[in-house]
Amino acid sequence: MIRSEPIGTGKVYSVHELTKEIKLHLEKEFFNVWVTGEISNLKQPSSGHVYFTIKDQRSQLPAVMFRSSRRRLKFQPEDGMAVVARGNVTVYEPRGAYQLLVEWMDPQGKGALQAAFEQLKEKLDKEGLFAKERKKPLPLLPQKIGIVTSPTGAAVRDICRILHRRFPNLEIVLYPAQVQGDLASAEIAKGIQVLNRLGGFDALIVGRGGGSLEDLWPFNEESVARAIAASEIPVMSAVGHEVDYTIADFVADVRAPTPSAAAEMVVSRKDAFEERVNWLGQRVEQATRQRMLTLKSEVNRLGEHKAFLAVRHSIEMAGQRLDDANYRATTMIERRLQALGSQLHKAGRRLETFRIDRQIAESRARLQHLDSRLFAVQKAQLATAHQKLGRSAAQLEALSPLAVLGRGYSLAWDDKGALIREASQVKTGEPLRLTLHHGELDCRVERTRSEKRIKTTS
């Protein structure tokens, strides 16, 4: 037997009506609530919304963060991350499930900015954007500097003041950009890109003065980091104070602790260039002197050999001419160096009205011309000395008796040291000394033949 329960006088709800009633009560009672827990089952579809579960050891709560709220997050949510979330409890009517509609979220025990900093740093480091081998060196003598910063901040005034003091004629181009606020990172990245498109810059300085982590945050944005990494111009970051580090510092080719330090690092002092030019001149002079001494020593060593005694006077005269040429060349170099030093001194006094890089280029050209002339003088003198040495050696070869002895002949000397040219000069039994190509023989005359010729064999 089937029994039916009477409906009675109470209201009968449809599923939709009951779900809607529950939704109204929940959203009214649990509005703007705070929940702490661990993220799990994180999903981030292409819509830009974020779906996840907030759980603890005993329970779990479905949660959703829509794209409009997601854009305000400074960090990337991850599974297993402990967070504190603020939002409203609501009901997703198609499934009749309640969930937390998250409007704001922060990592528990660590600020969102710090978490975002570490996440982006780890990501870019894995991509190799911090690698030393991709860093570009700053030029030795920049002629045109680009600056991306606020046109009204203290940083740009400090940079321009120091650059003007060091090199008054250095060309500086400022790209005005916000360095604080939501629009700052986009303007900074655009400034780097625009200056790269314009071209002609030797280096870029990107930075601002000190401030809180929030104030400096635009330099921790990924868009700024990638703009620096993509720059074909060397980039120097100059953000905040010496203790402040940003993502831009790690990606930049050079990091300056402060904006003022950046200006000091990007251009060296004028006197440093003058010292280098003087040092190069001294090296040229020392190398010239050392080369001349080496050549002179070699000539003297050859001149002292026994084979050259017959033509020693010619060699000594050649050495004297070489010394004279050396003296003239050295005197010419010293005069040129003195003239160059005088020109450099005058150029230093006129530095306020003329570009230092142009003067240095002219000085380098003069040094190169002087070096070419010196090389030509050395080459001509060496060629002359070698020719004279060859002629002297040939003359010695023609005159030296050693060459005759080398062909099998010998010289005969009597006991008084007189050279024997005829058999009639000696008698039977007298001693003789024979000089050969190698060594000597002591002999005694057995007999003489005055008329008979010595036959030669080939």
Round to whole Å and give the CA distance between 100 and 362: 74
Other C-beta atoms within 10 Å of 438: how many?
A: 7
Q: Are 394 and 342 in contact (CB under 8 A)?
A: no
Confidence of residue 457 (pLDDT cuts 50, 70, 90): very low
Round to whole Å and give the CA distance between 299 and 315: 8
**Residues paired with 38 in a beta bridge:** 55, 82
Confidence of residue 324 (pLDDT cuts 50, 70, 90): confident
Map out the domains of the chain as residue ranges.
15-110, 128-266, 270-399, 401-458
pLDDT, greater one: 17 or 124: 124
% of the chain exceeding 90 in pLDDT: 20
CATH of 15-110, one of 2.40.50.140, 3.40.50.150, 3.30.1780.10, 3.30.360.10: 2.40.50.140
How long a stretch of residues is the chain?
Answer: 458
Residue 302 clears pLDDT 70, i.e. is over it: no
Confidence of residue 304 (pLDDT cuts 50, 70, 90): low
% of the chain exceeding 70 in pLDDT: 84
Amino acid at 2: I
Distances (CA, A) of 405 to 201, 222, 361, 410, 432: 78, 91, 64, 6, 17
CATH of 128-266, one of 3.40.50.261, 3.40.470.10, 3.90.930.60, 2.60.120.260: 3.40.50.261
Confidence of residue 217 (pLDDT cuts 50, 70, 90): confident
Distances (CA, A) of 24 to 13, 95, 101, 153: 15, 16, 14, 52
**Average pLDDT of span 446-455:** 68
Q: Are 216 and 240 in contact (CB under 8 A)?
A: yes
Q: Are 100 and 53 in contact (CB under 8 A)?
A: no
Residue 452 clears pLDDT 70, i.e. is over it: no
Question: Are 15-110 and 128-266 in the same CATH fold?
Answer: no
Three-state DSSP class for residue 31: coil
Q: Which residues contact 167 (CB under 8 A, 6 or more apart)?
A: 267, 270, 356
Confidence of residue 122 (pLDDT cuts 50, 70, 90): confident
Out of 68-77, 375-384, 449-458, pick the least confident. Answer: 449-458
Residue 1 clears pLDDT 60, i.e. is over it: no
Confidence of residue 198 (pLDDT cuts 50, 70, 90): very high
Confidence of residue 70 (pLDDT cuts 50, 70, 90): confident
Q: Are 64 and 39 in contact (CB under 8 A)?
A: no
- Note the pTM of the prediction, 2 decimals: 0.46
* Interval 134-184: pLDDT, tens: 999 988 788 899 999 999 988 899 898 988 888 878 899 999 999 988 899
Residue 201 clears pLDDT 90, i.e. is over it: yes
